């Protein structure tokens, strides 16, 4: 039975993101919009009607148009990164001198990370530095740059950086066709929120454009896209109503409400982000391109170590290959291993946002990973089914604690939620909109059933092959009907667009 509370707003506002930017940024090209559906249908039809040699140009123009729908001016930033990294990679391949090659790599790193720092981190470090000076007695005004954060800048920056680093390491040949390289940087399904595709996987697929459209490929891609849309519109956007109400005013709610909102946010962010990844992977698959998985039912993980192997896989593997291992990985003793884990997760937290709450979120995950390695926890919880169930329960709640700092828009609000979680008062969660609440519970239940019994060990390719045509059509029809009946019509921006 649920108590009834007041002041539960219907609008979904996450960290004030929409309030700050919805008047300055056009969000008409969301994956969960009719505009994107029409855009994709036009690209899909044109792609298969055109001869193979012309398809790259259609995709490139479409990708630029897709990004410019958000903000036309910031396409210049993508062009700058594209031109610099294309040129640097060619020079790296032609140059044998080790010193010159390092300098060339530094050009790429400085240009890309410099743009990222200016647009995403300048104000954060400025305010933090001058705040510290003010605390020490110096009265100085922090310089602030009033600029809009370019959508997806962290994603495409990491994608193009991995390319130049791989060419520098001689693990990859430089792409000599500028148009194809530009398409690698800007391919619209994964441009603004990933997955972060490696050049070694995507560039070879941009050479021939000769993958035929088969029923199996189309069915698999469409199934994954429909499931991703269900996750976003039905699960994530309904959960957001409850989560936003509680986290915007945590002091006004009891402990049971704060706990339920934290559980709900865990599923909201999972469905919001994995839903985007599913749509990205599915739409690309129907065009003949295979992206790597980005989520593998992470909440069934029995340890935090396993969780980070199954959550946002393209980022966690990027951090492993281009940060953790270059720092030394686990090759130089236990202390250095723990240090490298902490540094990697701290920077991973900072990648998510210019806020100390994200840094703390990364620090908590780094602490978990270090402690698991210290006590050999990951190996222990995989010994038996009972151990795995226990480990999954503990892991889920450890991750939920980190989500508090990820979600709350200030330390004060986060600490208020944590205080309510550890000093429990009130055992009945507050609910105002019972219909939305029950819809959220039903949606989470359906999600858990599908993830545990179907997609935990079965890929979308395997799933679509295993079912008969009418069974697969019925499955998609049911998901689509649930989306129409219970989806939030004025759904919110994907959370990871701000990263």
Per-domain residue ranges of the chain: 34-206, 215-302+382-498
* β-bridge mates for residue 3, sequence order: 430
Q: Which residues contact 429 (CB under 8 A, 6 or more apart)?
A: 2, 3, 254, 256, 257, 259, 260
* Cα 462 from Cα 458, distance rounded (Å): 6
pLDDT(497) > 70: no
Q: Which residues contact 380 (CB under 8 A, 6 or more apart)?
A: 387
pLDDT band for 431, please (50, 70, 90 cuts): confident
Q: What is the pLDDT of residue 20?
A: 39
Alpha carbon distances (Å) from 173 to 87, 94, 203: 13, 11, 10
| Lowest pLDDT segment from 8-17, 155-164, 244-253, 282-291 | 8-17
Phi, psi of 443, rounded to the nearest 5 degrees: -65, -40
Alpha carbon distances (Å) from 4 to 235, 429, 432: 22, 8, 5
* Contact of 361 with 406, CB cutoff 8 Å: yes
Q: What is the pLDDT of residue 493?
A: 65
pLDDT band for 324, please (50, 70, 90 cuts): very high
> 108-121: per-residue pLDDT in tens?
999 999 999 998 88
The pLDDT of 461-487, averaged and rounded, is: 91
Q: Which of 446, 497, 461 is nearest to 230 (CA)?
A: 446
Alpha carbon distances (Å) from 142 to 118, 411, 474: 15, 21, 59
* Contact of 302 with 391, CB cutoff 8 Å: yes
Q: Which helix (H) or strand (E) holds 4?
A: strand 3-4
pLDDT band for 379, please (50, 70, 90 cuts): confident
Q: What is the pLDDT of residue 143?
A: 80
pLDDT(377) > 90: no
* Cα 67 from Cα 155, distance rounded (Å): 13
Half-sphere exposure of 189 (CA within 13 A, CB side): 28
Q: What is the pLDDT of residue 426?
A: 75
What share of the chain has pLDDT > 90, as a percent?
66
The pLDDT of 19-42, averaged and rounded, is: 74
* Cα 17 from Cα 6, distance rounded (Å): 24
* Contact of 460 with 223, CB cutoff 8 Å: yes
pLDDT band for 499, please (50, 70, 90 cuts): low
pTM reported for the whole predicted model: 0.90
Residue with tokens 């002091």: 251
Lookup: tokens for 207: 């050479």
Lookup: tokens for 346: 């701290």
Q: What is the pLDDT of residue 26?
A: 63
* Cα 443 from Cα 441, distance rounded (Å): 5
| Long-range contacts at 328-336 (CB < 8 A, ≥ 24 apart) | 330/373, 334/373, 334/374
* Cα 72 from Cα 58, distance rounded (Å): 18
* Cα 37 from Cα 27, distance rounded (Å): 14
| Lowest pLDDT segment from 19-33, 292-306, 471-485 | 19-33
Pick 333 or 360 by higher pLDDT: 360
* Contact of 218 with 61, CB cutoff 8 Å: no
Residues with catalytic function: 352
Q: Which residues contact 322 (CB under 8 A, 6 or more apart)?
A: 161, 162, 165
Handedness of CA 329, 333, 334, 336 (dihedral sign): negative
A 10 A CB-CB count for 467 gives 15
Residue with tokens 């390289």: 181
* Cα 360 from Cα 337, distance rounded (Å): 19
> 41-89: per-residue pLDDT in tens?
999 999 999 999 999 999 999 999 999 998 889 999 999 999 999 999 9
pLDDT(122) > 70: yes
* Cα 365 from Cα 373, distance rounded (Å): 12
Query: What's the Rg (C-alpha) of the chain?
Result: 23
* Cα 312 from Cα 72, distance rounded (Å): 28
Q: What is the pLDDT of residue 193?
A: 83
A 10 A CB-CB count for 441 gives 13
The pLDDT of 22-31, averaged and rounded, is: 64
User: Considering the chain, what is the average pLDDT of its residues?
Assistant: 88
């Amino acid at each position: 039975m649920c108590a009834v509370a007041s002041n539960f707003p219907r609008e979904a506002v996450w960290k004030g993101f929409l309030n700050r930017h919805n008047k300055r940024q056009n969000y008409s090209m969301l994956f969960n919009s009719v505009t994107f559906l029409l855009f994709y249908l036009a690209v899909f039809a044109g792609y298969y009607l055109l001869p193979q040699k012309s398809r790259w140009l259609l995709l490139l123009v479409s990708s630029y148009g897709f990004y410019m729908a958000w903000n036309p001016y910031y396409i210049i930033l993508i062009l700058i990164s594209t031109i610099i990294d294309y040129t640097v990679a060619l020079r790296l391949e032609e140059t044998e001198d080790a010193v010159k090659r390092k300098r060339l790599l530094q050009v790429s790193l400085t240009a890309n990370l410099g743009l990222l720092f200016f647009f995403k981190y300048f104000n954060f470090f400025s305010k933090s530095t001058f705040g510290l000076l003010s605390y020490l007695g110096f009265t100085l005004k922090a310089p602030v740059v009033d600029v809009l954060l370019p959508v997806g800048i962290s994603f495409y920056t990491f994608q193009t950086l991995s390319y130049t680093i791989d060419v520098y390491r001689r693990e990859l040949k430089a792409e000599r066709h500028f148009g194809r390289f530009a398409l690698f940087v800007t391919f619209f399904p994964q441009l603004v929120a990933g997955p972060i595709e490696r050049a070694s996987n995507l560039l070879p697929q941009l050479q021939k454009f000769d993958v035929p459209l088969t029923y199996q490929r189309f069915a698999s891609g469409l199934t994954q896209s429909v499931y991703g849309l269900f996750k976003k519109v039905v699960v994530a956007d309904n959960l957001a109503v409850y989560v936003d109400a509680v986290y915007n005013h945590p002091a006004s709610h009891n402990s049971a409400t704060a706990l339920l909102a934290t559980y709900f946010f865990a599923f909201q962010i999972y469905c919001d982000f994995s839903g985007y990844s599913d749509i990205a992977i599915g739409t690309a698959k129907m065009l003949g391109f295979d992206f790597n998985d980005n989520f593998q039912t992470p909440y069934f993980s029995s340890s935090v170590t396993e969780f980070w192997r199954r959550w946002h896989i393209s980022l966690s593997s990027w951090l492993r290959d281009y940060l953790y291992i270059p720092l030394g990985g686990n090759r130089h003793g236990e202390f250095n291993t723990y240090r490298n884990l902490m540094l990697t997760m701290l920077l991973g937290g900072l990648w998510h946002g210019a806020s100390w709450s994200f840094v703390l979120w990364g620090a908590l995950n780094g602490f978990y990973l270090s402690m698991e390695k210290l006590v050999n926890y990951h190996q222990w919880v995989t010994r038996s089914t009972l151990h795995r169930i226990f480990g999954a329960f503990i892991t889920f709640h450890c991750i939920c604690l980190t989500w508090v700092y990820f979600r709350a828009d200030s330390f004060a609000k986060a600490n208020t939620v944590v205080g309510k979680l550890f000093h429990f008062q009130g055992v009945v969660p507050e609910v105002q909109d019972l219909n939305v609440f029950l819809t959220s519970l039903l949606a989470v239940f359906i999600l858990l059933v599908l993830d545990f019994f179907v997609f935990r060990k079965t890929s979308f390719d395997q799933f679509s092959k295993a079912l008969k045509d009418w069974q697969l059509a019925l499955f998609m029809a049911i998901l689509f009907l649930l989306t129409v009946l219970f989806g939030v019509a004025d759904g919110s921006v994907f959370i990871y667009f701000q990263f």
